[in-house]
Amino acid sequence: MHSLIQTSESKYERQLPLPGIERRWFYKVAQYFEPDEHTRDIYPDKALLDALRAKRVDLFSFIERSFLNRSTHLELGFYGCTETIGLLRIQGFEAWLKSLPGRERTAIRKAERTLKTRLVNVDEEFIQSAFRIYNETPIRQCRRYIGFGMTLQDIRLKFSNLQTSKIIGTYLDNKLIGLMWVELGDQVAAMMSFISLISQRNKNPNNALIAGVVKLCSEKGYHYLTYGNMGYNPGLDFFKKNNGFRRVAVPRYFIPLTSKGQLAIKLKLCQSIERSFSPTLTRALVPFYNSVNRALPTSRGIPVDA
């Protein structure tokens, strides 16, 4: 398999598999997961595009990290649009802490008095604790949680190859109650697999984990931290904003690989379904989507990228 990651510093280079493939509308699109898109520059090369064509993929999509003043790909003739990501500019831990609303600072200080947050070793004790956290409840953020139902083997596989990633855990009386997977890339770190026990939320484990990753980034000299997309989930967006993340627009490009891909672009159906609508309409539909989502049967045996 071929990588299309090009970075300016070799220590961040790693061989990536082919991007994930998803079916949308009437076509198939290939796209890397957010942490890879956010933490590394992605450029299409012929070998990778040929490999995707061989898998009958119709469209390849990738973002450009324009917040790093990267040059635009528009002159290459790619179709482009914009999407918004959650971005935190880090200028030191104390500066970040002072920038937060008073309520968030209080929650972090409270968490510091009762919780211990540190990098973890992925051993069997961690696997057992992570299994307990992922399977606490089938509902999170008012919708079905796709990680519910993961087996111990799923957890082992999920955390089997960290490469350029770190796992931060927060502990209450030496028991893991929350964890965060952080991908460390070229100038940018990305948050992923951010989860904690709902039964312990009064201890503010999520605030402790956010503080932990900001400290890690500050110590390692990272000035940017991303947290998925913003503008599509009001409740989660509120949490991100209160912790210093801001909506930043980045270009997303689409490369047609087949006639179906060309048609998707022509009909402007190349974005994911939830982003095909305006942010205002999407936010208005969130309560309806959540209610329908909760009514669906809960899956078991979740893939390891949950």
DSSP per residue, 21-90 = EEEETTEEEEE--HHHHHHS-B---HHHHHHHHHTT--EEEEE--GGGTPPPSGGGT-EEEEEEEEEEE-
Q: pLDDT band at residue 287, thresholds of 50, 70 and 90?
A: low
Name the average pLDDT for the chain. 85
Q: pLDDT band at residue 2, thresholds of 50, 70 and 90?
A: very low
Q: pLDDT band at residue 278, thresholds of 50, 70 and 90?
A: low
pLDDT in tens, 243-262: 999 999 999 999 999 999 99
Both tokens assigned to 302: 């979740």
SS3 232: coil
* Gap between the Cα atoms of 86 and 231, Å rounded: 9
Amino acid 286: pLDDT: 57
pLDDT in tens, 135-151: 999 888 767 788 899 99
In degrees rounded to 5, what are phi and psi of residue 45? -120, 160
pLDDT in tens, 94-145: 999 999 999 999 999 999 999 999 999 999 999 999 999 999 998 887 677 8
In this structure, are residues 100 and 197 in contact, taking their beta carbons and an 8 Å threshold?
Answer: no
In degrees rounded to 5, what are phi and psi of residue 48? -70, -45
pLDDT exceeds cutoff 70 at 277: no
CA angle 297, 306, 57 (to 5 degrees): 95
pLDDT in tens, 202-240: 999 999 999 999 999 999 999 999 999 998 788 889 999
Domain 87-246 has what CATH class? alpha beta
Q: Give the residue with greater pLDDT, 46 vs 143.
A: 46
DSSP per residue, 111-149 = HHHH-EEEE---SHHHHHHHHHHHTS-SEETTEE-TTTT
Amino acid 140: pLDDT: 82
Torsion angle, alpha carbons of 35, 38, 44, 45, to 10: -70
Amino acid 42: pLDDT: 86
Q: Which helix (H) or strand (E) holds 261?
A: helix 259-266
pLDDT in tens, 57-107: 999 999 999 999 866 555 566 788 888 999 999 999 999 999 999 999 999
Extents of the domains making up the chain: 10-84+249-276, 87-246
Q: Which of 84, 34, 31 is nearest to 191 (CA)?
A: 34
Contact partners, residue 201, CB within 8 Å, separation at least 6: none
pLDDT exceeds cutoff 80 at 276: no
Amino acid 147: pLDDT: 86
pLDDT in tens, 137-191: 988 876 778 889 999 999 999 999 888 999 999 999 999 999 999 999 999 999 9
